[in-house]
Amino acid sequence: MPLTSSARTYAITLAAIGIALFGPAAARAAELQLRPECRCSGPVVTLGDVADVLAADSAEAEVLAAVELFPTPPSGTKRFLQVRQLQDLLLARGVDLLEHPISGASQVAVLRADEEPGTAEGEALPASAVEKVQRRVSEAVMRYLQAYVSVAEPWTVDVKLSAPQARWVASSENEISVDGGVPPWLGMQRFEVTVLSPDGPVRFDVDAEVTLVSQRVVAVRSLPRDAIIRATDVRLEPGGAIEAGFHSIDEVVDRQTTRALPKDKVVDRGSIQEPLLVRRGEVITVYARSAGIRVRSTAKAREEGSLGDLIQVESLLDRATYFACVSGIQEVEVYARPAQADRIGAAALHGSAPPPDPDPRVLHLEFLNPEP
């Protein structure tokens, strides 16, 4: 037969007097084995609700089981009790944790015995009120994502609350706490929401659809052709998904326009490129590297190109064409075959290399690691 509230108080008082009178010998160790879930019918959750109290002394077990922890969560909500939270509650009530070790589940899901979470209770909130509390929860989830994931991402969160959850959020004006979610943080995510009520914190799980706002880069002012884009030349604005567009300012900064861009024009991939370092028809410097030697010559560019582009160039010696990689402003590089480079290097070492000549068509040899 369960003890009444007054009887529990009387029993706890007697136990305290007994421990004080007879010392540690009267306090026998009891193991507290947590359950993964408990359903409470009374107004207060006790230690006996959340754990099996295993003690040799049945009187001591009954006294420990009657220790009150916190108010029972309202219908339609669920509270999770972590081991650390239970330890803090027991210490505040004078329970010696050295004599009463805790085992079993790492957390306990606490709910009412007569209802599953999410069942209706009382009158439903008006649609406008439900929309308001759902917006509050969505904003709390966004703050959580900005604080713990990325403040720069334009998050959008769509949350749907059950009627009891909406009523509980509406009953509290305190800030909402959020935890949970898993990388990559997009799509359907489950978050644990905590609302501070007059009766204590209430926790429940919500499913939320997390997406990113589609943004595009547009020109702040008119930009001429061949202009180098700076961060102040563009801005982000919300817009539909554009496959050919850019969605980050960093993607376009220091790139060059391929045509004039009017003000407020979307910057697409066809309108910008890497800055041109070589232009068609220019006389450029050609470097060939091999076997510790760099050969420098000149040629005429038959194509324009940016850093890393492979372009066709024309020799000024015999008008032969070949491909070279753009490596700098009016500079390209080719890689000679080792055998050819060895012959050039041997001729240079034996004094057969031609002397320096201002004629740009003449090859210039540069020894990268000259020997004394």
Q: What is the pLDDT of residues 220-249, one digit of tens each?
A: 999 998 888 998 998 888 765 555 567 778
- Whether the pTM exceeds 0.85: the reply is no
pLDDT per residue as tens digits for the range 343-357: 544 444 444 554 444
Mean pLDDT of 54-83: 84
Rounded to whole angstroms, the Cα distance separating 178 from 274 reads 43
Residue 182 is given by DSSP the state -
DSSP per position, 206-220: EEEEEEE--EEEEES
Sign of the C-alpha dihedral, residues 338, 342, 343, 347? positive
Mean pLDDT of 31-43: 85
Rounded to whole angstroms, the Cα distance separating 242 from 176 reads 36
Rg (CA), the chain: 38
Q: Determine the 3-state secondary structure of 236 from DSSP.
A: strand
Q: Determine the 3-state secondary structure of 347 from DSSP.
A: helix
Q: What percent of the chain has pLDDT over 70?
A: 75
Q: Is residue 184 reached through a cis peptide bond, with omega within 30 degrees of 0 on the bond before it?
A: yes
Greater confidence, 287 or 335?
287
Q: List, in order of start, the domains of the chain with CATH numbers.
A: 5-112 (2.60.480.10), 127-209 (no CATH), 214-273 (3.90.1210.10), 277-367 (2.30.30.760)
Q: How many CB atoms lie within 10 A of CB 22?
A: 10
User: Using CB atoms within 10 A of its CB, is residue 338 exposed (0-12), middle (13-18) or buried (19+)?
Assistant: exposed
Quick one: tokens of 150? 């990325």
pLDDT per residue as tens digits for the range 106-157: 788 888 776 544 444 455 678 888 889 999 999 999 999 988 888 777 788 9
Those residues with Cβ within 8 angstroms of residue 29's Cβ, 6 or more apart along the chain or in another chain: 55, 99, 100, 101
Rounded to whole angstroms, the Cα distance separating 1 from 349 reads 108
Q: Residues 332, 324: contact at Cβ < 8 Å?
A: yes
Mean pLDDT of 318-324: 89
How confident is the prediction for the chain on average, in pLDDT? 78
pLDDT at 114: 62
Bridge partners for 188 per DSSP = 209
Q: Residue 19 pLDDT more than 60? A: no
Residue 9 pLDDT class (50, 70, 90 cuts): low
**92-101, 114-123, 362-371 — most confident range:** 92-101
Distance of CA 193 to the CA centre of its chain: 19
pLDDT at 346: 47
User: Using CB atoms within 10 A of its CB, is residue 127 exposed (0-12), middle (13-18) or buried (19+)?
Assistant: exposed
Those residues with Cβ within 8 angstroms of residue 355's Cβ, 6 or more apart along the chain or in another chain: none
Greater confidence, 285 or 238?
285
Rounded to whole angstroms, the Cα distance separating 168 from 174 reads 11
Element (H, E) at 306: strand 305-306
Quick one: tokens of 243? 């496959």
pLDDT at 195: 86
Rounded to whole angstroms, the Cα distance separating 67 from 65 reads 6
Long-range contacts of 151-156 (CB under 8 A, 24+ apart): 153/212, 154/212, 154/213, 154/215, 154/238, 155/210, 155/211, 155/212, 155/213, 156/210, 156/211, 156/212, 156/213
Angle, helices 5-22/58-65, rounded to nearest 10 degrees: 120
How far is the CA of 252 from the CAs of 1, 151, 178, in angstroms? 76, 21, 36
Rounded to whole angstroms, the Cα distance separating 296 from 330 reads 13
Burial track 322-337 (b if 16+ CB lie within 10 A, e otherwise): eebbbbeeebbebebe
